[in-house]
Amino acid sequence: MSDAHAKPPSRNDTLRHYVLGSQVIDVGKAAPGLHIVATPIGNLGDITLRALATLAGADLIACEDTRVTRKLLDRYGITTPLTPYHDHNAASARPKLLHRLAEGAALALVSDAGTPLISDPGYKLVLAAQEAEHTITALPGASALLAALAVAGLPTDQFFFAGFLPPKAAARRARIAELARIPATLVLFETGPRIASTLADLAAVLGDREAALCRELTKIHEEIRRADLTTLAQASAADEIRGEIVLVVGPPTREAERPSARETDALLRQALARLSLKDAVEEVASATGLPRREIYQRALALAKEDHHGAAR
């Protein structure tokens, strides 16, 4: 057969490599299965050699945004094909990825930054791959959650990751009230546009707990602000904060584990404004851990107070 009709080399046949500085490092084909690969959260130097070898040796890389992941691959001279896998296309993309795994492909899963499955849809792919009995391998590395805990100066023996809080104020305060009783350091993700309102609500519900605002971790404009929640809330209201943010909030004191009457009343009023009396009592009792009978009696008292106030 002439060269003109020769079959082009497949990715299985071509040499795979990545580049470190001026050194080209050859790698073999990655083992079949799903590889969960942590990538940098900002500084592109924060990636492991094992991650580079796997990304270069994979048949396909599933990523949230191909433009973001392409910058990482270009930095290290990796030419593995990319395919998008994110919240908006996961339902349609997942069967195709599982089909590739069934064919014996080596599939790498990455997020835009950090460790996959932390606030992204990757867990559904992992679950489906487990159910299909495909090999799943974790390649640990950068994590904004752990990086923030490392620099916050707050207790790390127990911590609770709560992801993003609800965007609407009433739901956000109700969620904070649920988190208030957890006897551990809290870790939250937040965006610049919402950070001021989030800190204000955290201060209103949790009081003056010590906290750290960790912004743009590992990037040029990295900043750590350490203060109590009220101070951080006041500063954020006066100063526009941009970038990706991790909030670390210290655990409650023993006295703070039970919500104050003022906090309970505020939660009840918010709940009663959108729910029936029964549902409002259920929600607040669940959030605070207080007895339902106690919450019910307080709800009746508030309703009576509001009625008399309106009558005047």
> 7 and 82 in one domain?
yes
What are the structure tokens assigned to 227, written together? Answer: 């203060």
pLDDT band at residue 147 using 50, 70 and 90 as cut-offs: very high
* 13/98 same-domain check: yes
Q: What is the pLDDT of residues 156-186, one digit of tens each?
A: 999 999 999 999 998 999 999 889 989 999 9
Q: Kindly state whether residues 91 and 206 are assigned to the same domain.
A: no
Domain that holds residue 219: 145-254
How many Å apart are CA 140 and CA 114, to the nearest integer? 9
Which tens digit of pLDDT belongs to each residue from 268-285? 888 888 888 888 888 888
Nearest to 280 by CA among 258, 264, 260: 264
What average pLDDT does the structure give for the chain? 90
* pLDDT for residue 3 is more than 50: no
Residue that finishes a domain, picked among 254, 275, 290? 254
136 shares a domain with 170: no
203 token code pair:
């201060």
* Shared domain check, 250 and 274: no
- Altogether, the residues listed in the chain come to a count of 312
Quote the number of domains for the chain.
3
Whether residue 219 sits in one domain with residue 193:
yes
In percent, the amount of the chain with pLDDT more than 70 equals 91
pLDDT digits (tens, 9 = 90+) for 89-121: 999 999 999 999 999 999 999 999 999 988 777
- pLDDT tier at 266, thresholds 50, 70, 90: confident
CA distance 117 to 38: 10
pLDDT at 11 over 60: no
pTM of the complete model: 0.76
Q: Can you give the CATH number for the domain in which 225 is found?
A: 3.30.950.10
More confident residue, 161 or 3: 161
For the stretch 221-231, what's the b/e string if a residue is b when 16 or more beta carbons lie within 10 angstroms of its beta carbon? eeeebbebbbb
CATH number at residue 62: 3.40.1010.10
246 and 266 assigned to the same domain: no
Whether residues 27 and 115 fall in one domain = yes
pLDDT surpassing 50 at residue 256: yes
Same domain, 88 and 164: no
In a shared domain, residues 69 and 164: no
Where are the alpha helices (H) located in the chain, listed in sequence order?
A: 49-57, 66-75, 90-102, 122-131, 144-152, 169-180, 195-206, 229-238, 261-272, 277-288, 292-311
pLDDT tens digits, residue range 224-241? 999 999 999 999 998 888
Mark which of 104, 121, 142 sits at the end of a domain: 142
One domain for residues 93 and 113: yes
Q: Lowest mean pLDDT of 11-15, 165-169, 212-216, 243-247, name the range.
A: 11-15
pLDDT digits (tens, 9 = 90+) for 60-84: 999 999 999 999 999 999 999 999 9
Same domain for 232 and 194, yes or no, is yes
Q: Which of 102, 125, 142 is the last residue of a domain?
A: 142
